[in-house]
Amino acid sequence: MKVFVIGSGGREHALLWKLRQSPDVTELYCAPGNAGTGLVAENVFIPSLDRSALRTFALWKRIDLTVIGPELPLALGMTDYFEDAGLTVFGPTQAAAQLEASKVFAKQFMLEENIQTAPFEVFEDAEKAIAYVEGKRMPIVIKPDGLAPRNGVVVCNMLSDAVAAIRACLVEGCFKKAGKRILIENCLSGQEISYHCLVDGYNFLPLAVSQDYKRLYDDNTGPNTGGMGARSPVPNVTDDLLQKIATRIVEPTISGMAKRECEFRGVLYIGIMIVNGEPYVLEYNVRFGDPEAQVLMMRLKSDLFPLLAACACGGGLRGARAEFSKDTAVCLVAASAGYPDASNYKEVPIRGLEKAAAFQKTEIFHSGTRMVRDQVMAADGSGTRTVRDQMMTAGGRVVGITSLARNSDTAARRTRHAMSRISFDGMHYRTGVGV
Ligand code: AMP
Ligand code: GLY
C-alpha cells in the first residue's frame, strides 16, 4: 500500500515512523516534511496547503491512503477535495472539521447535545464583551472563534488582561477573521487530559490517554505553546472516568455529527478538564495532538495502517482493537530561541542527534529541522570541494525526544539525558516534563 502523509511536524514524523513498521505499507511519502520525515519516508516538496499540487501528486503515484496531519488543510476542505477525485483520506471533511475550526460551532453543538463544557457567551462587539466581563469573577477565558496561532486562548487572571484580550481580537484584529467573534468562558480548574479516539463516522476506538505540557516553562508558567512535552498514560485516569467520557462526550459527539449529516471520520482529540471527577470538554481537535502523537505512537503496539484505513472507509472500525504498551512514554521538546513568538529566528546547526538517538527505547521525532547540503572547500587551498549534509533548525519547536520506560520518572530522566547530548544556539526545553 502507498501512503502519503501531509504535514511537517513531530506528529507527522511519529505517524510515519509507526506506518513504516506496517507490513502492508510498501511506499511512504510526506509533503512537505522535515529532515526527520526524510529518514523514514520520501519527502515531496509541496507546501501543505497547495491542494492542487498535492492531489496531482497523490493521483500520479496512485496513493492508497492520504493522512492529513494538521488542522488547517482539514479546515480548508483538503479531504473533500481529495475525495472528489476518488482518493481515500484519513481526516474529516470540512463540515466535520468545524468542530475545531469554529469554537462557536463546537460550543453550540455541545449545548444542543448536552455535553458538559464551561458556560460561555459569544460576542462580536468589544464594548458589550467588556461590559460582560466587568460583571464576572476572575479568572475568565477569552477565545477567538477560528483557528489562530496556538489557539489564541487567553486565561485571564485580572480584568485588565481580559479587556486587553477582548480588544486584541475585536478592535485590533490580531487574529484577523478568526478573531472577529470571541467566546468568553468560565474558567475551569482541575486536571487536563488529551483524549484521542479514532472514528469511522459511527464507531470509535479509544486510544491511550495522554497529557500535554502546554506552558513554556516548568511549574506551568510562561505563555501557552503548541506543547513542550507530553506523557502517556496519565495518573489518576480511572475506568469509571473513561466510561463517563465515552458515554457522555464521545458517543453524543459522533451521533450528533452524523445527525447533522457531517459524519466524523478521522481522529478526534478532545481536550478535557477533569473537575471533581467529572469530565468537561475544553475543546475539540480534529487531528492528532502534537506532541501527544509522539507518545501515543511510541506506546502503540498494534499496526497503525489498518486502523487509519478503517476510519477512512466509513464504518470500518467495528471490532477493531488498539493495543498499547503498559510502559510510560515521555516526550520532551526542544524549541528555538524566542519560541513561541519568534519570527526572527536564525537557522543554526543542530549537533548531537546521533548520540541522543543511541539511548535505549528512545526515538527522536523532528519538527523544525532542515537538511542543508554544503560544499566545503579544502583548507589547504587545493580547490578540492567536499559535500557535507548539515542538519539545521527551521524555527519553532525543533525536535522531540520520546522514551519508553517502566515508569514516568525513568522515562523522563532518559529524555533529559538524551536531550543533554543535543545542542543548538538558543535551544530551550523544560526539565519538569513527566515528573
Ligand atoms: P483550548 O484551545 O480551548 O483547549 O485552550 C487552550 C488551553 O487553554 C487549554 O488547553 C487549557 O489549558 C486552557 N483553557 C481553555 N479553556 C479553558 C477553560 N474554560 N478553563 C480553564 N482553562 C481553559
Ligand atoms: N498539543 C496540543 C495540540 O496539539 O493542540
Residue 244 one-letter amino acid: K
Q: How many angstroms does the Cα of residue 85 sit away from the middle of ligand 2?
A: 30
Q: In whole angstroms, give the CA distance from residue 68 to residue 81.
A: 12
CA 102, 108, 114 angle in degrees (round to 5)? 135
284 closest CA partner among 431, 130, 143 = 143
* Alpha carbon of residue 297 to chain centroid: 13
Protein residue with least CA distance to atom 5, ligand 2: 289
Q: For a ligand 1 pocket test, name from 115, 141, 284, 292 the mutation site with the most ligand atoms within 8 angstroms of its C-beta.
A: 141
pLDDT at residue 381 greater than cutoff 70: yes
Adjacency order of strands within the sheet including 328-335: 211-212, 229-232, 328-335, 397-405, 362-366
Averaged pLDDT score across all residues of the chain: 95
Q: What are the structural domains, with CATH classification, of the chain?
A: 2-90 (3.40.50.20), 119-186 (3.30.1490.20), 192-313 (3.30.470.20), 328-419 (3.90.600.10)
Ligand 1 in reach of 141 Cβ (< 6 A): yes
Residue 330 is inside which H or E element, if any?
Answer: strand 328-335
Tally Cβ neighbours within 10 Å of residue 431.
12
Residue 344 pLDDT? 65
Taking only the tens place, the pLDDT of each residue in 136-178 is 999 999 999 999 877 789 999 999 999 999 999 999 988 899 8
Ligand 1 in reach of 151 Cβ (< 6 A): yes
Taking only the tens place, the pLDDT of each residue in 196-210 is 999 999 999 999 999
Q: In whole angstroms, give the CA distance from residue 367 to residue 391.
A: 12
Ligand with minimal distance to 367 CA: 2
pLDDT band at 293 (very low <50, low <70, confident <90, very high): very high
Q: What is the DSSP string of 206-230?
A: E---BEE--EEETTTEEEE-S-SEE
* Sequence-separated (6 or more) residues with CB below 8 Å from residue 369: 34, 35, 36, 350, 391, 392, 393, 394, 398, 399
Q: Is the separation of the CB atoms in 335 and 398 below 8 Å?
A: yes
Ligand 2 in reach of 227 Cβ (< 6 A): yes
Residues of the chain with pLDDT > 70: what percent?
99
SS3 of 45-101: the string is CCCCCCHHHHHHHHHHCCCCEEEECCHHHHHCCHHHHHHHCCCCEECCCHHHHHHHH
Strand bridging mode 65-68 / 89-90: parallel
Residue 378 pLDDT? 80
Tally Cβ neighbours within 10 Å of residue 160.
10
For the full predicted model, state whether its pTM sits above 0.85: yes
Taking only the tens place, the pLDDT of each residue in 83-141 is 999 999 999 999 999 999 999 999 999 999 999 999 999 999 999 999 999 999 999 99
pLDDT band at 194 (very low <50, low <70, confident <90, very high): very high
Q: In whole angstroms, give the CA distance from residue 66 to residue 367.
A: 20
What is the atom index within ligand 2 of the atom nearest the CA of 227? 1
Across 66-70, 224-228, 264-268, 376-380, least confident range: 376-380
pLDDT at residue 342 greater than cutoff 70: no
Residue 315 pLDDT? 76
Ligand 1 in reach of 185 Cβ (< 6 A): yes
Q: Is the separation of the CB atoms in 227 and 213 below 8 Å?
A: yes
Q: In whole angstroms, give the CA distance from residue 160 to residue 20.
A: 51
Ligand with minimal distance to 281 CA: 1
* Cell reading at 427: 535551544
What is the atom index within ligand 2 of the atom nearest the CA of 291? 1
Residue 343 pLDDT? 60
Q: How many angstroms does the Cα of residue 289 sit away from the middle of ligand 2?
A: 4
Q: How many angstroms does the Cα of residue 284 sit away from the middle of ligand 2?
A: 11
321 or 376: whose pLDDT is higher? 321
Q: 6 exposed, middle or buried (CB, 10 Å; 0-12, 13-18, 19+)?
A: buried
Q: Is the separation of the CB atoms in 154 and 180 below 8 Å?
A: no
Q: How many angstroms does the Cα of residue 223 sit away from the middle of ligand 2?
A: 14
pLDDT at residue 243 greater than cutoff 80: yes
* Cell reading at 115: 455535553
Q: How many angstroms does the Cα of residue 290 sit away from the middle of ligand 2?
A: 5
pLDDT band at 379 (very low <50, low <70, confident <90, very high): confident
The whole-number average pLDDT for the span 376-405 is 88
